[in-house]
A and B are shown apart, each in its own frame.
Chain A
Amino acid sequence: MTFATIILYCFIGLTLLSALYIAFTKNVLYAAFALILTFLGVAGIFMLIGAGFIAISQILVYVGGILVLIVFGVMLTNRLKGQQVTTPSYNKLLGLLVSGGLLFIFYKAIIEANFGAIKWIESAQPESPGLESFGMKLMTDYVLAFEVIGLLLLLALIGAVKIAAGARKEVEDAS
Chain B
Amino acid sequence: MISLLQSNNASDLKDQLGNLSEDVWMLAPEISVVIALLLLLGFDLLFKKNKEIGLASIAFCGLASTFVILTFQWTNFSTDLMIMGNLLRYDQLSVFLKLIFSLGGALGLIIAARNGEKNNLFQTGESLVILFGLFLGVFLMTMATNLLMIYLSIEVVSICSYMLTGILKGKRKAEAALKYLLFGAVSSAVMLYGISWLYGFTGTLDVTSQAFISGLSEVSVLPLTIALIMTIGGIIFKLGAVPFHIWSPDVYQAAPTAIVSIFSTLPKLAALTLLFRVINVLPAGLFDWQLILGVVAIASMIFGNFSALWQKDAKRMLAYSSIAHAGFLLVGLVAYTEAGNTSMLFYGAMYLVMNVGAFLLIAILERRTGSAAFDDMRGLGMKMPFLGILVVIVMIALTGLPPTVGFNAKLYVFSAIWEAYQVQNNSILLWVFILGLLNTVVALFYYLKLPYYLFFKTGEKTVLEKSSIPDHIWGTIMVLPLLIWFFQSEWLMNVLNSINFVF
Contacts and interface: CB of A to CB of B under 8 A. Distances in A.
Interface of A: 105-106, 108-110, 112-113, 115, 118-121, 124, 129-130, 132-133, 136, 140-145, 148-149, 151-152, 155-156, 158-160, 162-163, 166-167, 170, 173-174
A109 B223 contact: yes
A110 B27 CA distance: 40
A113 B148 contact: no
Contact of A110 (B152, B156, B223): B223
A148 B156 contact: yes
B124 A113 contact: no
B42 interface: no
Contacts of A130: 4
Of A130, A133, A156, the most chain B CB neighbours within 10 A belong to A156
B223 A148 contact: no
A159 B126 contact: yes
A165 to B, nearest CB: 10
B130 A158 contact: yes
B85 A140 contact: yes
A59 B201 CA distance: 28
A119 B152 CA distance: 28
Interface in B18-72: 20, 27, 34, 37, 41
Nearest to B34: A151
B401 interface: no
B156 A118 contact: no
Given A124-B203, A145-B87, A151-B133, 6 more contacts: A106-B226, A133-B7, A144-B27, A144-B88, A149-B152, A162-B124
B1 to A, nearest CB: 9
Contacts of B87: 141-142, 144-145
A124 B200 CA distance: 13
A118 B126 contact: no
Of B27, B88, B133, B174, the most chain A CB neighbours within 10 A belong to B133
Interface of B: 4, 7-8, 13, 16-17, 20, 27, 34, 37, 41, 84-88, 124, 126-127, 129-130, 133, 136, 140, 148-149, 152-153, 155-156, 159-160, 163, 166-167, 169-171, 174, 177, 197, 200-203, 211, 215, 218-220, 222-223, 226
Contacts of B8: 132-133, 136
Nearest to A148: B152
Nearest to B41: A158
Contacts of A109: 222-223, 226
Give the 4 A-B residue pairs with the shortest CB-CB distance, closest first.
A159-B163, A120-B203, A113-B223, A141-B85
Nearest to B24: A144
Given A152-B156, A156-B159, A159-B167, A140 B16 contact: yes
A173 B226 contact: no
Given A118-B201, A119-B218, A120-B215, A145 B148 contact: yes
A152 to B, nearest CB: 5
A79 B385 CA distance: 55
B222 A112 contact: yes
B105 to A, nearest CB: 16
A106 B196 CA distance: 13
Contact of B226 (A105, A119, A159, A167): A105
Contacts of A142: 85, 87, 148
A14 B462 CA distance: 66
A143 B222 contact: no
Nearest to B164: A159
Of B153, B197, B222, the most chain A CB neighbours within 10 A belong to B222
A152 B159 contact: yes
A174 B171 contact: yes
Contacts of B127: 162
A131 to B, nearest CB: 12
A162 B126 contact: yes
Contacts of B84: 143-144
A73 to B, nearest CB: 12
Nearest to A137: B7
A136 B17 CA distance: 11
B159 A113 contact: no
Contacts of A119: 215, 218
Nearest to A120: B203
A163 to B, nearest CB: 6
Nearest to A108: B222
Contacts of B169: 166, 170, 173-174
Contact of A113 (B41, B152, B201): B201
Given A108-B222, A113-B220, A129-B4, A155 B159 contact: yes
B141 to A, nearest CB: 11
B124 A112 contact: no
Nearest to A129: B4
A53 to B, nearest CB: 16
Contacts of A143: 20, 84-85
Nearest to B224: A113
Contacts of B7: 133, 136, 140
A173 B17 CA distance: 54
Contacts of B200: 113, 115, 118, 121
A145 B205 CA distance: 13
A133 B27 CA distance: 26
Contacts of A124: 203
A136 B133 CA distance: 27
A110 to B, nearest CB: 7
